[in-house]
Homo-oligomer: A and B are copies of this chain.
Amino acid sequence: MIDVALFGAGRIGTIHAGNVARQPGVRLKYVVDVDAQAATRLAAQYGAKTTDAETVFNDAGVGAVVIGSSTDTHADLILRAAKARKAIFCEKPVDLALDRARSCAEAVRSAGVTCLIGFQRRYDPTFAAIKERIAQGEIGEPEMLIITSRDPAAPPVEYIKRSGGIFKDMLIHDFDVFRWILEDEAATVYATGSCLTDRVIESAGDIDATAVTIRTRGGRLAQINTIRRAVYGYDQRFEVLGSKGMLQAGNHRPTEVTLWSSGAVAADKPEYFFLERYRAAYAAEMAHFFDVLAGRARARTSIDDGVKALALAEAATTSWREQRIVEL
């Protein structure tokens, strides 16, 4: 039986709590959150206790921590967990500052603890199938990757101000998908963008729509387009063109209903947002974490993946701000 402490009782913490509780041989022991009410509510639901970080790290019985608290707490919690030699599952990003993220990676490496970063898209049934089918050679050598990644609606501007900007907050997932699918590293990054949906985002020093191009060391080409607001919902598609074919990831829909009317033939919009679309991915991700801890699987992501995606996000931010092509 592995005892687990969860940091963060918000939206994503709640998802993780349910998935932790569902693992055989795993017990959710602690929930930690600055919002005592949220922590209490979530802890009660799964028979866990609320506590503080110090108690967690001093409790030798805690085998793993799941970090789903706000971004500014990640690095500190990773460092303390590494020091206490607890296995770590941490939401992206490791930190908004690249050097601090690298320190975390170094600490994790020194401590020799498992540290998975929450790139849940790698566990999405559709995305994971594409990864596997490329590995099986279905499309030959991958050459081009086109990612469409659009949110249904922008978060409050207060969130955006603390988010590190669109590249670190939103595209970091796409940068991870890029590295994971092409198995190649960026040679150059070009990013441009606009504030198209709400001027308040611009006044917060950010943009809400981006167009990113990456050329890899191996000469492969990747394009990413994102926006904070697509009225039809969460749009999560990508396609990989290879020498022998193309694999395309479509959106998931709530149902397979089609309406044929006097106007059109209409199917469902995509699942509304990440909690809906990646429900299965979050569950598979957490199962994978405990499979890794039990020695049943090799970790599919590492803290280095978190650092490298962050480095791409930083390069893209520089490219956009300084209006130049950034070499890595």
A-side interface residues toward B, CB under 8 Å?
A: 125-126, 129-130, 133, 138-139, 143-144, 146, 148, 150, 188, 190, 192-197, 209-211, 213, 215, 219-223, 225, 227, 230-232, 235, 241, 243-270, 323-325
Contact = CB atoms under 8 A, between A and B. Distances in A.
Contact of A190 (B126, B213, B227): B213
12 contacts: A125-B254, A126-B257, A144-B225, A150-B241, A192-B221, A194-B220, A211-B221, A211-B223, A223-B225, A248-B259, A263-B266, A264-B267
B243 A231 contact: yes
A112 B34 CA distance: 51
Nearest to A150: B241
A227 B269 contact: no
Contacts of A255: 125-126, 129
B225 A146 contact: yes
Given A150-B241, A266-B265, A267-B264, A256 B252 contact: yes
A177 to B, nearest CB: 14
Given A225-B221, A266-B266, A232 B245 contact: yes
A269 B265 contact: yes
